[in-house]
Chains A and B, each alone.
Chain A
C-alpha cells in the first residue's frame, strides 16, 4: 500500500543510517531483546511501538549506548552507524551521543538559563570559537525547535521556568544544537498537552529533512501521524517492520494487528 504522505514528502535515499544485526540485550538473566535485525533509514521518521516492557525503549537506548550506564546490561550483536560498529572499543560514547542525540519522556532541562541549556553541547564539543558563533548556534537551534519566538526575550531566564511543552522543545533544541545525524525520542510527548504535542510533531516532520528520527511512542495515532516506517516490538522480538501506511491498514502479523487495533495481544 502506498502511503500518500510517504510519496509526497519522502526525502530518503533508502540508505540505511543504522544497521542492526542479530542484536541481543540482557539485563542480568533477563533476555530483553531477542535477535533483532533492522535497517533504520536516513532522513526518515521511524516509530517503535509495542506494549510496555516489549523492549522498544531498550532497543532505542542501544542506538546511542545509553545502556552503557546500566551495569547489568549486556548488548550483543552488531549495531552499525554509517557502516561503523558503535560498540567498537575505539568509539567514544560521548562523541557518539553528539552524533546520535536523545530526547526523553520527561522534559529535563539543565538548571541553567535557556541560553546555556542550548549552548552546553556545542561548548563541550568545541563547536563555537567565538561568542558570536555560539549565539548563532543557539538561535538556529531554538528556531529549529520552534521555540525562538517564545524564548528570544528571556534567554537568560532559567529553562526550568518554561511550560512543559516549551521545556520539551528546549530539550529538542539542546539535542539538535550539536548537529546530530540521528535524533532518538523516547515518548517525547507523553507529558505534553495536544497543542504542544502538535508542535513537537510538526518539528519532527521538519527535522526529518536533515536527519533520521527514531521515536518510541505509546500513542499509535502519533506513530501513524509522524512516521514513515513503523517497527512493532513484542516480548523482546521485532515482530514486524514496514511502511507505516501498510502497518496501519494491513499488517502482516496477527500480533501486530491485535496490538494496533486495541485487542488483547
Chain B
C-alpha cells in the first residue's frame, strides 16, 4: 500500500497527532524516572518538579483528544487511518494515567523524606520502575514503527513486573512484622510499588492497541494476571 494520501493535509494531521503522542510519551517516561529518582535520593525538589510537569502531560492529552476529534470529524478516516486515530486516543488516556501514578509517587516522596529510609526496598522499586520505563520506551517505538512483535514482547514482559511487585509485597510484610515503626514507610512504599505495577498494566494496554493498529485484530485471550497478592491466600494470610 502506498503510504501517502492524495490529500497531503491528511498526512500532516496524522503525523501531527503521532508526534504529539510521542512527545507525551517522552514526558511520561521522564516522569517515571524522576519520580523514582526523587524517591531513592530523597530529593523533594525533584518530586515537586514531577508534580508540576504532570500538568504538561494533561495538557497534551487534552490537545490530542481535540486533534483526534477533528480528524474524525473532518477527514472521516477509514481502515489503517481509523486505527491510528483510535490507537492514539487510547494511548493518550493510558499515558495520562501513568503520568498520574508518577505524580502520586512524587507526592508520597515528599512524605517519605521525613520517615525512616528502607534502602533494600528502594533498590527493588528502582529496578521495577526502570523496567516499566523501558517497556514504555519500547511501546512508543512499537507504535511509531508499527511493530506488532515488539508490542507482543512487551505484553509478555509485564509478567516480570508483576513478579517484582509480588516479591516487594512480601518484603514489605516482612519489614512491617520485624518492626512496627516501619509500618508507615512500608504503607507508602507499597502504594508506590502498586503504582508502578499499574503503570505496567497501562503500558500493556497501549501494546495491545499497537497490535490492533498493525493487524486490525484484537487479541482474543485476556492477559493472565501476574499480580497474585489479591488471589493467593498464602500472601493474603501473611498479613
| A263-B216 in contact (CB<8A) | no
| B4-A261 in contact (CB<8A) | no
The stretch from A117-125, A128-136, A163-171, A244-252 touching chain B is A244-252
- Which one, A221, A257, A264, contacts B80 given CB within 8 A? A257
Q: Which residues from B are CB-within-8-Å of A261?
A: 5, 77-81
Task: Give the nearest-CB partner of A260 in chain B.
Answer: B78
A258 at the interface (CB under 8 A from B): yes
Within 8 A of A (CB), among B41-84: 76-83
Rounded to whole Å, the gap between the CB of A207 and the closest CB of chain B is: 25
Interface range for B = 10 to 19
- Which one, A220, A224, A265, contacts B2 given CB within 8 A? A265
A126 at the interface (CB under 8 A from B): no
Task: Give the nearest-CB partner of B86 in chain A.
Answer: A249
A221-B76, A250-B216 known; A264-B82 Cβ under 8 A: no
A254 at the interface (CB under 8 A from B): yes
Within 8 A of B (CB), among A229-265: 248-251, 254-258, 260-265
A254-B1, A257-B1 known; A262-B6 Cβ under 8 A: yes
B217 at the interface (CB under 8 A from A): yes
| A249-B83 in contact (CB<8A) | yes
Task: Give the nearest-CB partner of B217 in chain A.
Answer: A250
Most buried by A among B77, B79, B80, B216: B79
* Count of inter-chain pairs, beta carbons less than 8 A: 47
| A258-B10 in contact (CB<8A) | no
| B6-A257 in contact (CB<8A) | no
Q: Which residues from A are CB-within-8-Å of B77?
A: 261
| B2-A249 in contact (CB<8A) | no
Q: Which residues from B are CB-within-8-Å of A249?
A: 78-79, 82-83, 216
Inter-chain CA distance A147–B76, complex, in Å, is: 31
Most buried by B among A256, A258, A262, A264: A262
Q: Which residues from A are CB-within-8-Å of B216?
A: 249-250
Within 8 A of A (CB), among B1-42: 1-7, 10
A249-B83, A250-B217 known; A224-B6 Cβ under 8 A: no
Rounded to whole Å, the gap between the CB of B213 and the closest CB of chain A is: 11
Rounded to whole Å, the gap between the CB of B115 and the closest CB of chain A is: 52
Rounded to whole Å, the gap between the CB of B82 and the closest CB of chain A is: 6
- Which one, A251, A257, A264, contacts B4 given CB within 8 A? A264
| B3-A263 in contact (CB<8A) | yes
Inter-chain CA distance A258–B3, complex, in Å, is: 8
A249-B216, A250-B216, A250-B217 known; A263-B78 Cβ under 8 A: no
A257-B1, A263-B1 known; A248-B79 Cβ under 8 A: yes
Q: Which residues from B are CB-within-8-Å of A264?
A: 2, 4, 6
Inter-chain CA distance A62–B77, complex, in Å, is: 32
- Which one, B4, B82, B83, B217, contacts A263 given CB within 8 A? B4
Other contacts beyond A220-B78, A258-B1, A262-B10: 13, CB < 8 A: A224-B78, A249-B78, A250-B216, A251-B79, A254-B1, A257-B1, A258-B2, A261-B77, A261-B81, A263-B3, A263-B5, A264-B4, A265-B2
What is B's interface to A at a CB cutoff of 8 Å?
Answer: 1-7, 10, 76-83, 216-217
What is A's interface to B at a CB cutoff of 8 Å?
Answer: 220-221, 224, 248-251, 254-258, 260-265
Contact sample, A vs B, 14 pairs, CB 8 Å cutoff: A248-B78, A248-B79, A249-B78, A249-B82, A250-B216, A250-B217, A255-B1, A257-B1, A257-B80, A258-B2, A260-B78, A261-B80, A263-B4, A263-B5
Listed from nearest, the 6 A-B pairs whose CB atoms lie closest are: A250-B216, A254-B1, A263-B2, A258-B1, A264-B2, A248-B78
